[in-house]
Chain A
Amino acid sequence: MRPTIGVLALQGDVPEHVRALESAGASVVRVRRARELDGVDGLVLPGGESTTMSRLLDVFELREPLLARLREGMPAYGSCAGMILLADRVLDGAAGQLGLGGIDMTVRRNAFGRQVDSFETALDVQGVAGGPVPATFIRAPWVEEVGEGVEVLATVGSGPATGRIVAVAQGPLMATSFHPEITGDDRVHAHFIRLVSKER
Protein backbone atom coordinates (compact mmCIF):
# COMPACT_ATOMS: atom_id res chain seq x y z
CA MET A 1 0.00 0.00 0.00
CA ARG A 2 1.15 3.52 -0.69
CA PRO A 3 2.52 5.25 2.41
CA THR A 4 0.77 8.39 3.62
CA ILE A 5 3.17 11.25 4.13
CA GLY A 6 2.33 14.49 5.88
CA VAL A 7 3.78 17.85 4.91
CA LEU A 8 4.00 20.35 7.75
CA ALA A 9 1.90 23.18 6.30
CA LEU A 10 2.38 26.08 8.69
CA GLN A 11 4.44 28.07 6.18
CA GLY A 12 6.84 27.44 3.31
CA ASP A 13 7.01 25.68 -0.03
CA VAL A 14 4.36 23.12 0.89
CA PRO A 15 2.83 22.65 -2.62
CA GLU A 16 6.24 21.79 -4.09
CA HIS A 17 6.77 19.00 -1.54
CA VAL A 18 3.21 17.76 -2.07
CA ARG A 19 3.82 17.58 -5.83
CA ALA A 20 7.19 15.83 -5.46
CA LEU A 21 5.83 13.26 -2.97
CA GLU A 22 2.75 12.49 -5.06
CA SER A 23 4.75 12.09 -8.22
CA ALA A 24 7.15 9.77 -6.34
CA GLY A 25 4.19 7.60 -5.32
CA ALA A 26 2.99 8.68 -1.87
CA SER A 27 -0.43 9.80 -0.63
CA VAL A 28 -0.02 13.22 0.91
CA VAL A 29 -1.82 15.16 3.64
CA ARG A 30 -1.12 18.68 4.82
CA VAL A 31 -0.51 18.94 8.54
CA ARG A 32 -1.46 22.10 10.43
CA ARG A 33 -3.26 20.52 13.42
CA ALA A 34 -2.19 17.81 15.85
CA ARG A 35 -5.00 15.48 14.75
CA GLU A 36 -3.78 15.63 11.15
CA LEU A 37 -0.62 13.82 12.30
CA ASP A 38 -2.61 10.73 13.27
CA GLY A 39 -2.76 8.97 9.93
CA VAL A 40 0.70 9.79 8.59
CA ASP A 41 3.53 7.26 8.19
CA GLY A 42 6.14 9.98 7.80
CA LEU A 43 6.46 13.76 7.77
CA VAL A 44 8.18 16.32 5.55
CA LEU A 45 9.30 19.60 7.07
CA PRO A 46 9.38 22.00 4.11
CA GLY A 47 11.57 24.90 3.14
CA GLY A 48 10.56 28.29 4.46
CA GLU A 49 11.46 30.42 7.46
CA SER A 50 12.49 28.29 10.41
CA THR A 51 11.77 31.13 12.87
CA THR A 52 8.19 31.44 11.59
CA MET A 53 7.55 27.69 11.62
CA SER A 54 9.08 27.28 15.04
CA ARG A 55 6.82 30.03 16.44
CA LEU A 56 3.69 28.58 14.81
CA LEU A 57 4.49 25.10 16.18
CA ASP A 58 3.99 26.58 19.64
CA VAL A 59 1.06 28.86 18.82
CA PHE A 60 -0.96 26.01 17.35
CA GLU A 61 0.19 23.45 19.97
CA LEU A 62 1.83 21.17 17.47
CA ARG A 63 5.26 20.90 19.05
CA GLU A 64 4.49 18.27 21.70
CA PRO A 65 2.42 15.93 19.49
CA LEU A 66 5.11 16.17 16.83
CA LEU A 67 7.91 15.44 19.29
CA ALA A 68 5.90 12.47 20.59
CA ARG A 69 5.63 11.00 17.07
CA LEU A 70 9.33 11.60 16.41
CA ARG A 71 10.20 9.82 19.68
CA GLU A 72 8.09 6.86 18.55
CA GLY A 73 10.28 6.66 15.45
CA MET A 74 8.15 8.41 12.80
CA PRO A 75 10.37 9.04 9.76
CA ALA A 76 10.87 12.69 8.87
CA TYR A 77 12.66 14.58 6.12
CA GLY A 78 13.50 18.27 6.37
CA SER A 79 14.74 20.52 3.56
CA CYS A 80 16.50 23.79 4.44
CA ALA A 81 14.30 25.25 7.21
CA GLY A 82 13.20 21.66 7.86
CA MET A 83 16.84 20.67 8.35
CA ILE A 84 17.19 23.44 10.94
CA LEU A 85 14.10 22.18 12.78
CA LEU A 86 15.52 18.62 12.90
CA ALA A 87 18.93 19.69 14.21
CA ASP A 88 19.87 19.09 17.84
CA ARG A 89 21.99 22.27 17.78
CA VAL A 90 21.54 25.50 15.75
CA LEU A 91 24.07 28.30 15.31
CA ASP A 92 23.00 31.84 14.30
CA GLY A 93 19.35 31.19 15.09
CA ALA A 94 17.00 34.00 16.13
CA ALA A 95 16.76 34.65 19.87
CA GLY A 96 14.47 32.08 21.49
CA GLN A 97 14.25 29.99 18.34
CA LEU A 98 13.43 26.43 19.25
CA GLY A 99 13.60 23.47 16.89
CA LEU A 100 12.41 19.90 17.26
CA GLY A 101 15.79 18.21 17.18
CA GLY A 102 16.34 14.53 16.46
CA ILE A 103 19.47 14.50 14.34
CA ASP A 104 22.72 14.71 16.29
CA MET A 105 24.20 17.60 14.33
CA THR A 106 25.09 21.27 14.59
CA VAL A 107 23.56 23.35 11.80
CA ARG A 108 24.53 26.91 10.91
CA ARG A 109 21.64 29.02 9.65
CA ASN A 110 22.14 31.08 6.46
CA ALA A 111 25.65 29.62 6.38
CA PHE A 112 26.24 30.21 2.67
CA GLY A 113 25.35 33.90 2.99
CA ARG A 114 22.47 36.09 1.91
CA GLN A 115 20.21 35.68 -1.12
CA VAL A 116 22.86 37.02 -3.56
CA ASP A 117 24.96 34.00 -2.56
CA SER A 118 22.14 31.49 -3.14
CA PHE A 119 23.08 29.04 -5.88
CA GLU A 120 22.25 25.89 -7.75
CA THR A 121 24.46 22.95 -8.51
CA ALA A 122 24.20 19.18 -8.79
CA LEU A 123 25.36 16.73 -6.13
CA ASP A 124 25.82 13.04 -5.68
CA VAL A 125 23.59 11.96 -2.81
CA GLN A 126 24.38 8.62 -1.19
CA GLY A 127 21.54 6.15 -1.68
CA VAL A 128 20.10 8.10 -4.61
CA ALA A 129 20.94 6.33 -7.86
CA GLY A 130 20.96 7.80 -11.35
CA GLY A 131 23.67 10.45 -11.18
CA PRO A 132 23.95 13.85 -9.50
CA VAL A 133 20.79 15.40 -8.05
CA PRO A 134 19.99 19.02 -9.01
CA ALA A 135 20.30 21.01 -5.79
CA THR A 136 19.09 24.56 -5.19
CA PHE A 137 20.49 26.29 -2.11
CA ILE A 138 18.50 29.33 -0.93
CA ARG A 139 19.89 31.23 2.06
CA ALA A 140 20.74 27.69 3.02
CA PRO A 141 22.15 26.22 6.21
CA TRP A 142 25.02 23.77 6.28
CA VAL A 143 25.93 21.08 8.77
CA GLU A 144 28.87 22.23 10.85
CA GLU A 145 29.46 18.89 12.60
CA VAL A 146 27.71 15.56 13.09
CA GLY A 147 27.60 13.04 15.92
CA GLU A 148 28.68 9.40 15.57
CA GLY A 149 25.35 7.94 14.52
CA VAL A 150 24.84 10.36 11.66
CA GLU A 151 25.46 9.33 8.08
CA VAL A 152 26.71 12.03 5.70
CA LEU A 153 24.83 11.70 2.40
CA ALA A 154 26.28 14.63 0.44
CA THR A 155 28.84 17.38 0.59
CA VAL A 156 29.42 20.41 -1.63
CA GLY A 157 31.71 19.35 -4.48
CA SER A 158 33.12 22.67 -5.69
CA GLY A 159 33.21 26.41 -5.08
CA PRO A 160 34.02 28.29 -1.87
CA ALA A 161 32.05 25.90 0.38
CA THR A 162 33.69 22.72 -0.93
CA GLY A 163 33.42 19.85 1.52
CA ARG A 164 30.57 21.30 3.59
CA ILE A 165 28.01 18.71 4.66
CA VAL A 166 24.61 19.37 3.05
CA ALA A 167 22.67 16.10 3.38
CA VAL A 168 22.50 13.70 6.33
CA ALA A 169 20.51 10.79 7.74
CA GLN A 170 20.20 9.29 11.19
CA GLY A 171 17.89 6.30 11.62
CA PRO A 172 14.46 7.30 10.27
CA LEU A 173 15.39 10.98 9.92
CA MET A 174 16.97 12.73 6.95
CA ALA A 175 17.72 16.33 6.04
CA THR A 176 19.10 18.37 3.16
CA SER A 177 20.37 21.96 3.06
CA PHE A 178 19.01 22.24 -0.46
CA HIS A 179 15.55 22.09 -2.05
CA PRO A 180 15.07 19.05 -4.31
CA GLU A 181 11.33 19.88 -4.30
CA ILE A 182 11.70 22.88 -6.61
CA THR A 183 13.79 21.23 -9.31
CA GLY A 184 11.30 18.71 -10.71
CA ASP A 185 13.68 15.82 -9.88
CA ASP A 186 11.89 13.65 -7.32
CA ARG A 187 14.60 11.12 -6.52
CA VAL A 188 15.32 12.48 -3.02
CA HIS A 189 11.61 12.25 -2.20
CA ALA A 190 11.49 8.72 -3.62
CA HIS A 191 14.43 7.90 -1.35
CA PHE A 192 12.48 9.22 1.66
CA ILE A 193 9.38 7.25 0.65
CA ARG A 194 11.52 4.08 0.58
CA LEU A 195 12.76 4.96 4.08
CA VAL A 196 9.16 5.41 5.27
CA SER A 197 8.05 2.11 3.65
CA LYS A 198 10.93 0.31 5.36
CA GLU A 199 9.96 1.70 8.79
CA ARG A 200 6.28 0.77 8.50
Chain B
Amino acid sequence: MSTENSSAPVVGTSHVKRGMAEMLKGGVIMDVVTPEQAKIAEDAGAVAVMALERVPADIRAQGGVARMSDPDMIAGIIDAVSIPVMAKARIGHFVEAQVLEALGVDYIDESEVLTPADYTHHIDKWAFTTPFVCGATNLGEALRRITEGAAMIRSKGEAGTGDVSNATTHMRTLRAEIARLTSMSHDELYVAAKELQAPYELVKEVAEAGRLPVVLFTAGGIATPADAAMMMQLGAEGVFVGSGIFKSGDPAARAAAIVKATTFYDDPAVLAQVSRGLGEAMVGINVDEVPVAHRLQDRGW
Protein backbone atom coordinates (compact mmCIF):
# COMPACT_ATOMS: atom_id res chain seq x y z
CA MET B 1 0.00 0.00 0.00
CA SER B 2 1.36 3.41 -0.87
CA THR B 3 0.44 6.68 0.73
CA GLU B 4 3.14 8.93 -0.68
CA ASN B 5 1.19 9.81 -3.80
CA SER B 6 -1.68 11.65 -2.13
CA SER B 7 -2.56 15.31 -1.88
CA ALA B 8 -2.99 17.45 1.22
CA PRO B 9 -6.50 17.59 2.70
CA VAL B 10 -8.59 20.71 1.96
CA VAL B 11 -11.65 21.68 4.03
CA GLY B 12 -14.68 23.74 3.02
CA THR B 13 -14.61 22.99 -0.72
CA SER B 14 -17.77 22.96 -2.85
CA HIS B 15 -17.58 19.15 -3.03
CA VAL B 16 -17.51 18.94 0.73
CA LYS B 17 -20.28 21.51 1.29
CA ARG B 18 -22.64 20.34 -1.44
CA GLY B 19 -21.71 16.72 -0.76
CA MET B 20 -22.89 17.04 2.84
CA ALA B 21 -26.37 17.91 1.52
CA GLU B 22 -26.22 14.93 -0.89
CA MET B 23 -25.88 12.68 2.17
CA LEU B 24 -29.12 14.09 3.62
CA LYS B 25 -31.16 13.18 0.55
CA GLY B 26 -34.27 11.11 1.02
CA GLY B 27 -34.28 12.20 4.64
CA VAL B 28 -36.17 14.42 7.08
CA ILE B 29 -34.61 17.32 8.99
CA MET B 30 -36.60 18.23 12.09
CA ASP B 31 -36.87 21.47 14.08
CA VAL B 32 -36.07 20.90 17.75
CA VAL B 33 -35.85 23.30 20.68
CA THR B 34 -34.39 21.04 23.40
CA PRO B 35 -31.88 18.14 23.62
CA GLU B 36 -34.81 15.85 24.56
CA GLN B 37 -36.63 16.71 21.34
CA ALA B 38 -33.39 16.18 19.40
CA LYS B 39 -33.14 12.65 20.83
CA ILE B 40 -36.77 11.94 19.88
CA ALA B 41 -35.98 13.13 16.35
CA GLU B 42 -32.85 10.99 16.10
CA ASP B 43 -34.68 7.92 17.39
CA ALA B 44 -37.43 8.52 14.83
CA GLY B 45 -34.86 8.41 12.01
CA ALA B 46 -34.21 12.11 11.30
CA VAL B 47 -31.12 12.68 9.14
CA ALA B 48 -30.39 15.95 10.96
CA VAL B 49 -31.97 18.34 13.43
CA MET B 50 -32.43 22.10 13.21
CA ALA B 51 -31.69 23.64 16.60
CA LEU B 52 -33.75 26.74 17.31
CA GLU B 53 -35.17 28.58 20.27
CA ARG B 54 -38.81 28.61 19.19
CA VAL B 55 -40.45 26.68 16.38
CA PRO B 56 -41.90 28.95 13.66
CA ALA B 57 -45.47 28.50 14.95
CA ASP B 58 -44.41 30.00 18.29
CA ILE B 59 -42.39 32.77 16.67
CA ARG B 60 -45.53 33.61 14.74
CA ALA B 61 -47.76 33.46 17.84
CA GLN B 62 -45.44 35.33 20.19
CA GLY B 63 -44.07 37.94 17.81
CA GLY B 64 -41.03 40.06 18.67
CA VAL B 65 -37.60 39.88 17.07
CA ALA B 66 -36.52 36.32 16.36
CA ARG B 67 -32.74 35.80 16.50
CA MET B 68 -30.11 33.07 16.46
CA SER B 69 -30.63 30.60 19.31
CA ASP B 70 -28.84 30.63 22.65
CA PRO B 71 -25.39 29.02 22.14
CA ASP B 72 -25.86 26.93 25.31
CA MET B 73 -29.01 25.43 23.84
CA ILE B 74 -27.27 24.68 20.53
CA ALA B 75 -24.27 23.14 22.32
CA GLY B 76 -26.66 21.01 24.42
CA ILE B 77 -28.29 19.67 21.27
CA ILE B 78 -24.92 19.01 19.61
CA ASP B 79 -23.92 16.95 22.67
CA ALA B 80 -27.23 15.07 22.76
CA VAL B 81 -27.22 13.52 19.27
CA SER B 82 -24.81 11.88 16.81
CA ILE B 83 -26.62 13.11 13.66
CA PRO B 84 -25.78 16.50 12.06
CA VAL B 85 -27.03 19.65 13.80
CA MET B 86 -28.12 22.69 11.82
CA ALA B 87 -28.98 26.12 13.21
CA LYS B 88 -30.48 29.33 11.89
CA ALA B 89 -28.89 32.74 11.43
CA ARG B 90 -30.85 35.86 10.49
CA ILE B 91 -30.73 36.89 6.83
CA GLY B 92 -27.61 39.04 6.38
CA HIS B 93 -26.35 38.49 9.95
CA PHE B 94 -22.86 37.27 9.14
CA VAL B 95 -21.74 37.47 12.76
CA GLU B 96 -24.48 35.11 13.95
CA ALA B 97 -23.19 32.79 11.22
CA GLN B 98 -19.61 33.20 12.53
CA VAL B 99 -20.83 32.26 16.02
CA LEU B 100 -22.66 29.20 14.67
CA GLU B 101 -19.53 28.11 12.81
CA ALA B 102 -17.48 28.51 15.99
CA LEU B 103 -20.02 26.36 17.86
CA GLY B 104 -19.43 23.58 15.33
CA VAL B 105 -22.90 23.39 13.78
CA ASP B 106 -22.85 21.28 10.61
CA TYR B 107 -25.06 23.47 8.40
CA ILE B 108 -26.26 27.07 8.77
CA ASP B 109 -29.75 28.02 7.61
CA GLU B 110 -29.83 31.69 6.61
CA SER B 111 -33.51 31.82 7.37
CA GLU B 112 -36.50 34.04 6.70
CA VAL B 113 -38.09 32.50 9.79
CA LEU B 114 -35.89 34.80 11.89
CA THR B 115 -36.16 38.57 11.70
CA PRO B 116 -33.85 39.82 8.91
CA ALA B 117 -30.71 41.70 9.99
CA ASP B 118 -30.07 43.23 6.58
CA TYR B 119 -32.74 44.26 4.11
CA THR B 120 -30.33 44.52 1.17
CA HIS B 121 -27.59 41.92 1.52
CA HIS B 122 -27.52 38.24 2.26
CA ILE B 123 -24.51 36.67 3.98
CA ASP B 124 -21.42 36.09 1.81
CA LYS B 125 -21.51 32.35 2.31
CA TRP B 126 -18.26 31.67 0.43
CA ALA B 127 -16.43 33.19 3.40
CA PHE B 128 -17.37 30.23 5.62
CA THR B 129 -16.13 26.65 5.99
CA THR B 130 -19.55 25.60 7.30
CA PRO B 131 -22.04 25.10 4.45
CA PHE B 132 -25.30 27.07 4.17
CA VAL B 133 -28.85 26.24 3.19
CA CYS B 134 -31.14 29.06 2.05
CA GLY B 135 -34.83 29.35 1.25
CA ALA B 136 -36.23 30.22 -2.16
CA THR B 137 -39.66 30.81 -3.64
CA ASN B 138 -38.53 30.70 -7.26
CA LEU B 139 -35.55 29.91 -9.48
CA GLY B 140 -34.09 33.43 -9.55
CA GLU B 141 -33.97 33.53 -5.77
CA ALA B 142 -32.42 30.03 -5.62
CA LEU B 143 -29.72 30.98 -8.14
CA ARG B 144 -28.90 34.24 -6.34
CA ARG B 145 -28.43 32.29 -3.09
CA ILE B 146 -26.21 29.73 -4.87
CA THR B 147 -24.18 32.60 -6.34
CA GLU B 148 -23.65 33.88 -2.79
CA GLY B 149 -22.37 30.42 -1.81
CA ALA B 150 -25.41 28.46 -0.61
CA ALA B 151 -24.65 24.72 -0.88
CA MET B 152 -28.27 23.60 -0.51
CA ILE B 153 -31.65 25.17 -1.31
CA ARG B 154 -35.03 24.63 0.29
CA SER B 155 -38.43 25.93 -0.69
CA LYS B 156 -39.62 28.58 1.75
CA GLY B 157 -43.27 27.64 1.93
CA GLU B 158 -44.90 29.54 4.77
CA ALA B 159 -43.27 28.38 7.99
CA GLY B 160 -45.25 27.82 11.16
CA THR B 161 -48.62 27.50 9.47
CA GLY B 162 -49.05 23.77 8.86
CA ASP B 163 -50.47 24.90 5.51
CA VAL B 164 -48.53 23.19 2.72
CA SER B 165 -50.00 25.23 -0.14
CA ASN B 166 -47.15 27.71 -0.45
CA ALA B 167 -44.46 25.02 -0.35
CA THR B 168 -46.41 23.40 -3.20
CA THR B 169 -46.39 26.66 -5.15
CA HIS B 170 -42.66 27.14 -4.62
CA MET B 171 -41.77 23.58 -5.61
CA ARG B 172 -43.94 23.77 -8.72
CA THR B 173 -42.50 27.17 -9.63
CA LEU B 174 -38.92 25.95 -9.29
CA ARG B 175 -39.67 22.86 -11.36
CA ALA B 176 -41.47 24.79 -14.09
CA GLU B 177 -38.78 27.47 -14.32
CA ILE B 178 -36.02 24.87 -14.59
CA ALA B 179 -37.99 22.98 -17.26
CA ARG B 180 -38.43 26.24 -19.18
CA LEU B 181 -34.65 26.85 -19.18
CA THR B 182 -33.96 23.39 -20.58
CA SER B 183 -36.01 24.16 -23.69
CA MET B 184 -34.33 27.50 -24.42
CA SER B 185 -31.85 28.22 -27.16
CA HIS B 186 -28.47 29.69 -26.38
CA ASP B 187 -29.43 33.31 -27.08
CA GLU B 188 -32.59 33.03 -25.00
CA LEU B 189 -30.53 31.99 -21.99
CA TYR B 190 -28.83 35.41 -21.90
CA VAL B 191 -32.21 37.05 -21.52
CA ALA B 192 -33.28 34.43 -18.98
CA ALA B 193 -30.17 35.20 -16.91
CA LYS B 194 -31.09 38.87 -16.94
CA GLU B 195 -34.67 38.15 -15.92
CA LEU B 196 -33.61 35.73 -13.19
CA GLN B 197 -31.01 38.26 -11.96
CA ALA B 198 -28.51 35.43 -11.88
CA PRO B 199 -25.13 34.86 -13.56
CA TYR B 200 -25.29 33.52 -17.11
CA GLU B 201 -22.85 30.65 -16.39
CA LEU B 202 -25.06 29.36 -13.59
CA VAL B 203 -28.22 29.70 -15.68
CA LYS B 204 -26.53 27.77 -18.49
CA GLU B 205 -25.44 25.05 -16.06
CA VAL B 206 -29.04 24.61 -14.83
CA ALA B 207 -30.36 24.62 -18.41
CA GLU B 208 -27.93 21.85 -19.41
CA ALA B 209 -28.39 19.69 -16.31
CA GLY B 210 -32.14 20.22 -15.93
CA ARG B 211 -31.66 20.64 -12.21
CA LEU B 212 -30.08 22.90 -9.62
CA PRO B 213 -26.36 22.31 -9.05
CA VAL B 214 -27.14 21.81 -5.34
CA VAL B 215 -29.58 19.63 -3.41
CA LEU B 216 -33.18 20.90 -3.24
CA PHE B 217 -35.25 20.20 -0.13
CA THR B 218 -38.71 21.44 0.74
CA ALA B 219 -39.82 23.35 3.83
CA GLY B 220 -42.63 25.47 5.14
CA GLY B 221 -45.95 24.04 6.27
CA ILE B 222 -45.28 20.29 6.04
CA ALA B 223 -47.40 18.66 8.78
CA THR B 224 -48.35 15.13 7.65
CA PRO B 225 -46.71 12.10 5.99
CA ALA B 226 -48.82 12.82 2.90
CA ASP B 227 -47.53 16.42 2.79
CA ALA B 228 -43.94 15.14 2.83
CA ALA B 229 -44.64 12.55 0.13
CA MET B 230 -46.36 15.11 -2.09
CA MET B 231 -43.34 17.40 -1.91
CA MET B 232 -41.08 14.46 -2.82
CA GLN B 233 -43.31 13.64 -5.79
CA LEU B 234 -43.05 17.28 -6.84
CA GLY B 235 -39.28 16.94 -7.00
CA ALA B 236 -37.98 17.69 -3.51
CA GLU B 237 -34.95 15.59 -2.57
CA GLY B 238 -35.80 15.66 1.13
CA VAL B 239 -37.93 17.42 3.70
CA PHE B 240 -37.61 19.94 6.53
CA VAL B 241 -40.37 19.69 9.11
CA GLY B 242 -40.61 22.61 11.51
CA SER B 243 -43.58 23.04 13.79
CA GLY B 244 -45.39 20.06 12.27
CA ILE B 245 -43.82 17.48 14.58
CA PHE B 246 -43.51 18.97 18.04
CA LYS B 247 -46.77 20.94 17.73
CA SER B 248 -48.67 17.71 17.05
CA GLY B 249 -50.37 15.30 19.47
CA ASP B 250 -47.78 12.49 19.29
CA PRO B 251 -44.43 13.86 18.08
CA ALA B 252 -42.45 10.58 18.17
CA ALA B 253 -45.06 8.69 16.13
CA ARG B 254 -45.54 11.55 13.67
CA ALA B 255 -41.78 12.00 13.23
CA ALA B 256 -41.28 8.31 12.47
CA ALA B 257 -44.23 8.31 10.07
CA ILE B 258 -42.91 11.31 8.11
CA VAL B 259 -39.50 9.58 7.83
CA LYS B 260 -41.15 6.46 6.39
CA ALA B 261 -43.32 8.51 4.04
CA THR B 262 -40.25 10.33 2.71
CA THR B 263 -38.53 7.03 1.81
CA PHE B 264 -41.67 5.48 0.25
CA TYR B 265 -43.07 8.73 -1.13
CA ASP B 266 -44.25 7.00 -4.31
CA ASP B 267 -45.99 4.01 -2.70
CA PRO B 268 -49.59 4.84 -1.67
CA ALA B 269 -49.98 1.55 0.21
CA VAL B 270 -47.09 2.42 2.51
CA LEU B 271 -48.32 6.02 2.82
CA ALA B 272 -51.78 4.84 3.84
CA GLN B 273 -50.30 2.55 6.45
CA VAL B 274 -47.91 5.06 8.00
CA SER B 275 -50.60 7.77 8.09
CA ARG B 276 -52.71 5.79 10.57
CA GLY B 277 -52.83 6.21 14.35
CA LEU B 278 -50.82 9.44 14.54
CA GLY B 279 -53.20 11.47 16.73
CA GLU B 280 -53.80 15.17 16.16
CA ALA B 281 -51.83 17.02 13.50
CA MET B 282 -50.78 20.57 14.35
CA VAL B 283 -53.82 22.83 14.23
CA GLY B 284 -52.33 25.25 11.77
CA ILE B 285 -53.44 28.47 10.14
CA ASN B 286 -54.44 29.05 6.54
CA VAL B 287 -51.80 31.15 4.80
CA ASP B 288 -54.60 33.31 3.35
CA GLU B 289 -55.50 34.38 6.88
CA VAL B 290 -51.94 35.49 7.65
CA PRO B 291 -51.65 39.24 7.03
CA VAL B 292 -49.26 39.92 4.15
CA ALA B 293 -46.92 41.85 6.46
CA HIS B 294 -46.55 38.74 8.63
CA ARG B 295 -45.69 36.35 5.80
CA LEU B 296 -42.16 35.04 6.21
CA GLN B 297 -41.65 33.97 2.59
CA ASP B 298 -41.40 37.59 1.43
CA ARG B 299 -38.23 38.04 3.47
CA GLY B 300 -35.09 37.63 1.34
CA TRP B 301 -34.20 39.40 -1.87
Using CB atoms and an 8 Å cutoff, list the residues of chain A in contact with chain B: 9-16, 32, 47-49, 51-52, 55-56, 59-60, 80-81, 92-94, 96, 109-110, 114-124, 126, 131-132, 136-139, 152-159, 161-163, 179, 182-183
Contacts and interface: CB of A to CB of B under 8 A. Distances in A.
B8 A159 contact: yes
B6 A158 contact: yes
Given A14-B25, A47-B22, A138-B23, A121 B7 contact: yes
B1 A155 contact: yes
Nearest to B39: A95
Interface residues of B, number: 48
Contacts of A131: 5
Contact of A48 (B10, B25, B101): B25
A113 B244 CA distance: 31
A126 B4 contact: no
A59 B264 CA distance: 12
Main secondary structure of the interface of A (DSSP, over half): loop
B104 A11 contact: no
A11 B1 contact: no
A162 B7 CA distance: 12
4 closest cross-chain pairs (CB), A and B = A157-B6, A115-B106, A157-B3, A119-B9
A166 B131 CA distance: 24
B13 interface: yes
A92 B83 CA distance: 11
A9 B237 CA distance: 13
B83 A51 contact: yes
B39 to A, nearest CB: 9
B22 A16 contact: yes
Interface centre among B22, B83, B131, B263 (most CB of A within 10 A): B22
Given A12-B26, A13-B19, A110-B82, 16 more contacts: A13-B23, A48-B23, A49-B24, A51-B45, A92-B82, A93-B82, A114-B104, A116-B101, A119-B9, A139-B84, A152-B1, A155-B3, A157-B4, A159-B9, A163-B3, A182-B19
Interface in B128-184: 129-131
A122 B266 CA distance: 38
Nearest to B106: A115
Interface string B50-68: 0000000000000000000
Given A56-B263, A139-B106, A158-B6, A115 B20 contact: yes
A59 B10 CA distance: 38
Given A56-B259, A155-B1, A118 B20 contact: yes
B16 A136 contact: yes
A120 B24 contact: no
A133 B289 CA distance: 55
Contacts of B101: 116
A61 B101 CA distance: 39
Contacts of A136: 15-16, 19
Given A115-B84, A121-B7, A49 B1 contact: no
B104 A116 contact: yes
Nearest to B262: A11
Contacts of A96: 43
Nearest to B107: A115
Interface centre among A59, A138, A179 (most CB of B within 10 A): A138
A132 B5 contact: yes
A11 B10 CA distance: 27
B13 A52 contact: no
29 contacts: A11-B26, A11-B47, A12-B25, A13-B22, A13-B23, A32-B263, A52-B47, A52-B83, A52-B259, A56-B259, A80-B23, A92-B82, A110-B82, A115-B20, A115-B105, A116-B101, A116-B129, A118-B16, A119-B9, A119-B10, A119-B16, A121-B8, A124-B1, A124-B2, A132-B7, A152-B1, A157-B5, A158-B7, A158-B8
